[in-house]
């Protein structure tokens, strides 16, 4: 997966004036690359991840994922692009409480009409939770839930994983486990990763860095 951003601007209009983000930001991420997005709260980290996932459209500029012009996608095409190409890990895991870990991981596959129980099981092994496949989110620790969320993000074999402050709710030891996992996925499975973080330590796990601040 190659990612290319050209001359990016996003303006949000508020009652008391506009918020202008990115100032014509351009960057590229080679297939298999890893990138930390840093910057203070309000600098646009979450907005940039949402733009890359076609959850939001820019005011100006271009976003390419391989040969797809992501900023031009909307509706069904945007949903399909997301499902096939992007894995999203949120700051809070956003697992469905009434489903087991295994069912949560398999959910994107079900949305795509694909049977992926076996792959989901395998992903739970990769994230170190093979023994907890039938646990519900409330029966897991915060770090375990976040690792289930990583497995869910990977179930459709996305070329690009977007993670929005994925260690924000974790203590240092659990954050390290999660960061090592993301690094391993990047290095061994060549999944490209863009991770928003304001942790100095977290950003050292990614090879490149853009500061939006
Ligand atoms: N949907 C929205 N409507 C209006 N303003 C928004 C919206 N989303 C984000 N913003 C504004 O854009 C700025 C950047 O927000 P965000 O991307 O969440 O930053 P970060 O993730 O770095 O904290 C903030 O000033 C925020 O208020
Ligand atoms: Mg944010």
CA of 118 to the centre of ligand 2 (A): 33
pLDDT of residue 14: 86
Q: Which residues pair with 20 in a beta bridge?
A: 11
Question: Distance between CA atoms of 116 and 132, rounded to whole angstroms?
Answer: 17
pLDDT of residue 16: 85
Question: Distance between CA atoms of 44 and 41, rounded to whole angstroms?
Answer: 8
pLDDT of residue 48: 98
Is there a domain that residue 111 lies in?
yes
Tokens found for residue 100? 């087991």
Q: What is the CATH number of the domain that holds 103?
A: 3.40.50.300
pLDDT of residue 190: 87
What residue numbers bound the domain in which 146 lies?
31-58+82-211
pLDDT of residue 72: 97
* pTM beyond 0.75: yes
141 in Cβ contact with 162 (< 8 Å): no
Give nearest CA residue, ligand 1 atom 17: 44
Q: Element (H or E) spanning 189, and its range?
A: helix 172-189
Positions in the chain whose pLDDT score sits under 70: none
Is there a domain that residue 69 lies in?
no
Is there a domain that residue 51 lies in?
yes
Total domains, the chain: 1
Beta pairing, strands 192-196 & 17-29: unpaired
In the chain, count H helices and then E strands. 7, 9
Is there a domain that residue 155 lies in?
yes
Is there a domain that residue 106 lies in?
yes
CA of 93 to the centre of ligand 1 (A): 20
- Tell me which of 9, 47, 166, 168 to substitute to probe ligand 1's pocket, judged by most ligand atoms within 8 Å of the beta carbon: 47
Atom of ligand 1 nearest to the CA of 13: 4
Is there a domain that residue 36 lies in?
yes
């Amino acid at each position: 997966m190659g990612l290319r951003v050209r001359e990016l601007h996003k303006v949000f209009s508020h009652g008391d004036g506009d918020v202008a983000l990115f100032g014509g930001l351009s960057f590229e991420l080679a297939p298999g690359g890893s990138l930390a997005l840093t910057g203070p709260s309000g600098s646009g980290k979450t907005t940039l991840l949402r733009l890359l996932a076609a959850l939001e459209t820019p005011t100006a500029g271009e976003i390419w994922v391989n040969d797809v012009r992501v900023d031009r996608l909307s509706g069904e095409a945007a949903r399909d692009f997301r499902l096939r190409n992007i894995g999203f890990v949120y700051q809070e895991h956003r697992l469905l409480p009434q489903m087991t870990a295994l069912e949560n991981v398999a959910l994107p596959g079900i949305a795509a009409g694909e049977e992926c129980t076996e792959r989901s099981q395998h992903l739970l092994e990769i994230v170190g939770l093979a023994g907890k496949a039938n646990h519900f989110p409330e029966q897991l620790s915060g770090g375990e839930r976040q690792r289930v969320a990583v497995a869910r993000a990977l179930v459709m074999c996305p070329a690009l994983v977007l993670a929005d402050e994925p260690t924000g709710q974790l203590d240092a030891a659990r954050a390290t486990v999660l960061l090592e996992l993301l690094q391993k996925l990047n290095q061994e499975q060549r999944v490209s990763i863009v991770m928003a973080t304001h942790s100095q330590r977290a950003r050292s796990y990614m090879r490149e860095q853009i500061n939006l601040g």
